[in-house]
Amino acid sequence: MESSPSIELRGVDKEYRRDEFVVPVLQGLDLSVAEGEYLALMGPSGSGKTTLLNLVAGLDTATRGEVLVHGQNLGRLSEAEITRWRAHNVGFIFQTYNLIPVLTAFENVELPLLLTHLSRRKRRENVMTALRVVGLEGREHHSPRQLSGGQEQRVAIARAIVTDPYLLVADEPTGDLDRVTAGEILELLEQLNREFQKTIVMVTHDPLAARRASRVLHLDKGRLVDDVINETSISAAS
Ligand SMILES: Nc1ncnc2c1ncn2[C@@H]1O[C@H](COP(=O)(O)OP(=O)(O)OP(=O)(O)O)[C@@H](O)[C@H]1O
């Protein structure tokens, strides 16, 4: 069955300006990502991977062209609208977890829900569900420094999914982890894609990580140079 596009880029350019200099970073990008696809972005350092991730996550805007996510044209939203859109639609996972050290695992996961109108009881229920999904039941009172790197990343993933977002973006999610722990985190991302139908866009330098995705895009100097469907992986889009 053909799914509707989840992410569409039409003629996207992205430039940064430094004083009078214009730095072109993405050039003429056209892309269509199906709902439930698990996409890996690869390419040399500076090729524009994080820039592209930021555009589809609504953290930055294209200089030219259109970025549509789940039918929403992000370039047409005001600053306030895009902040609200992000809070409801996107979960963020970073290489360095970005947890607040003075908060417990529970409190870290609860953070995005404090921006919603959910009751305390409902927030608690959702946080406990997210912690259970990532396999951290019973660790809710631990602070980040009482957890291993892999467990910290699980807390960060629980925080990313607690609002039940449509899209998960992950920037080098296994970059700080050993191979075994990295494998476990990749397993979890696959589960979120397969069982919970999350569309995932992941930046990675690791070919082993990219192999778990359903599709791998290669960027070079801001252009799409390769687009490979991973026959061996089973994604929610299959
Ligand atoms: N805010 C900014 N202002 C100016 N230039 C920027 C900005 N952000 C990124 N760049 C430049 O854009 C280019 C692409 O950066 P980007 O972070 O997207 O690359 P990347 O492929 O993710 O690299 P890496 O693998 O090293 O993280 C780089 O040359 C970078 O210096």
Residue nearest (by alpha carbon) to ligand 1 atom 5: 16
Atom 29 (ligand 1) nearest CA: 46
Q: What's the CA dihedral at 212, 217, 220, 222 to 10 degrees?
A: -130
Residue at 38 is within a domain = yes
Ligand 1 centre from 130 Cα, in Å? 32
In a domain, 131, yes or no: no
Residue 126 maps to a domain: no
The 3-state DSSP class for residue 4 equals coil
Atom of ligand 1 nearest to the CA of 48: 18
**DSSP-assigned beta bridge partners for residue 16:** 23
Which residues have CB under 6 Å of ligand 1? 16, 18, 23, 25, 43, 45-51
Q: Are 93 and 157 in contact (CB under 8 A)?
A: yes
- Along the 238 residues of the chain, how does pLDDT read in single tens digits? 445 689 999 999 999 998 889 999 999 999 999 999 999 999 999 999 999 999 999 999 999 999 999 999 999 999 999 999 999 999 999 999 999 999 999 999 999 999 889 999 999 999 999 999 999 999 999 999 999 999 999 999 999 999 999 999 999 999 999 999 999 999 999 999 999 999 999 999 999 999 999 999 999 999 999 999 987 776 777 6
CB atoms within 10 A of CB 64: 14
Whether 123 is covered by a domain: the verdict is: no
Domain count within the chain? 1
Which are the contacts of 220, defined by CB distance < 8 A and separation ≥ 6?
Answer: 43, 44, 47
Asked if the structure places residue 216 within a domain, the reply is yes
| Structural domain boundaries enclosing 30 | 5-94+166-229
CATH code at 28? 3.40.50.300
Q: Write down the ipTM of this complex.
A: 0.96
Please give the C-alpha separations between residue 164 and each of 135, 144, 170, in angstroms, as whole numbers: 17, 23, 15
Residue 110 lies in a domain: no
* Mutational pocket test of ligand 1: of 49, 96, 176, the residue with most ligand atoms within 8 Å of the beta carbon: 49
Ligand 1 centroid to 50 CA: how many Å?
Answer: 7
Q: What is the value of pTM for the model shown?
A: 0.94
Which amino acid residue places its CA nearest to atom 30 of ligand 1?
46
